[in-house]
Amino acid sequence: MKALIFKRYGKSPEIGLANVPRPTLKPNELLVKVHAAGLNPIDNMIPTGTFKPVLHFQLPATLGSDLAGVVTEVGSDVTRFKVGDAVFASIFGLGTGSIAELAVVPENAAALKPANLDFVQAASIPMVGLTSWQALKERANLRAGQKVFIPAGSGGIGTFAIQLAKHLGAKVGTTTSTGNVELVRSLGADEVVDYKKQAFENVLSGYDAVLGTVRGDAIEKSIGILKPGSKIVSLVGPLDAAFARARRLNLFLTFVFGLMSRKVMRLARKREVTYSFLFVHPDGAQLAEIGKLLEAQRIKPVIDKVFPFEEAKDALEYLAQGRSKGKVVVKM
């Protein structure tokens, strides 16, 4: 079968389409014929080796985490799905990839595709949906009437997270460029800062939570807009010691991650807020709950561009430019 692979870590990972062996199933897994694969920024980061200590791939490795498709085979222990079911899933962190003709999906990572979405729309959801759910609902415990800052509101994660936060009853602040102000307002953003005209830390105040989506010093600056007792949940780092312990990493990496997060932790303590780094995990039950919101049209997919499978490498390069409004999807 064909898949988009990378051969090595580093500056020259040799990303391209290649013929790879057809996957074999474990008793608790599904074999899915992939109709579409959603792309995420981390798909470009993995081949560089950024997450090599944390994510383990056998090289050459297939890229991609999000997929939507049809079950073609089920393992002997599978009870919730049957051949012919349309499903969507994230297989992030499981050592396999989704930008391929076929993908292996653990039963507990899959959910039935929302009936009102096509495969491209469904494939755009899993990672941004699960990340938003786990960050806002579980880690930040966002409640009605609270205020959450979700920067980069027009991006893949931002377009979903704004809608989920509004569903939870929160008020949302965000940043975007001039051309995307109306887009983020249409998704429900209450306070919109055009970052080309103003610095958010000079405009926003009194927030209860921050979803860290922008690298650089944005996390440190966002501490100043928070009330005491608030929470920062970062998707972009710095990694912290608690994350290392949760992943059962060795003492050296725990120490290194503790050093990496020392400055932001110190600034957070001064403001009496908590900081944590979040690594999304696949969860079919959560994805099924997200699917209900999509079927009820409380949340709608936002898709920037769809690439054919043959141009999957171009799709990753397009995503890397950081200008997409919503998600980038590869259609098989």
- For 152-170, give the DSSP string: STTSHHHHHHHHHHHHTT-
d(CA 92, CA 51): 12
pLDDT exceeds cutoff 80 at 216 = no
CB 57 within 8 A of CB 65: no
pLDDT band at residue 323 using 50, 70 and 90 as cut-offs = confident
- Sign of the Cα pseudo-torsion (286, 288, 289, 294, in order): positive
The token pair that represents 3 in the structure block: 């898949």
pLDDT in tens, 16-38: 999 999 999 999 999 999 999 99
d(CA 305, CA 326): 8
d(CA 106, CA 78): 9
The pLDDT of residue 67 is 98
Question: CA-based Rg of the chain, rounded to a whole angstrom?
Answer: 19
pLDDT in tens, 151-160: 999 999 999 9
pLDDT exceeds cutoff 80 at 237 = no
The pLDDT of residue 111 is 98
pLDDT exceeds cutoff 90 at 262 = no
DSSP type of residue 125: S
The pLDDT of residue 267 is 86
Nearest to 32 by CA among 66, 76, 59: 66
DSSP type of residue 100: B
The token pair that represents 9 in the structure block: 């870590």
d(CA 166, CA 184): 12
Q: Which domains are present in the chain?
A: 2-124+301-331 (3.90.180.10), 128-277 (3.40.50.720)
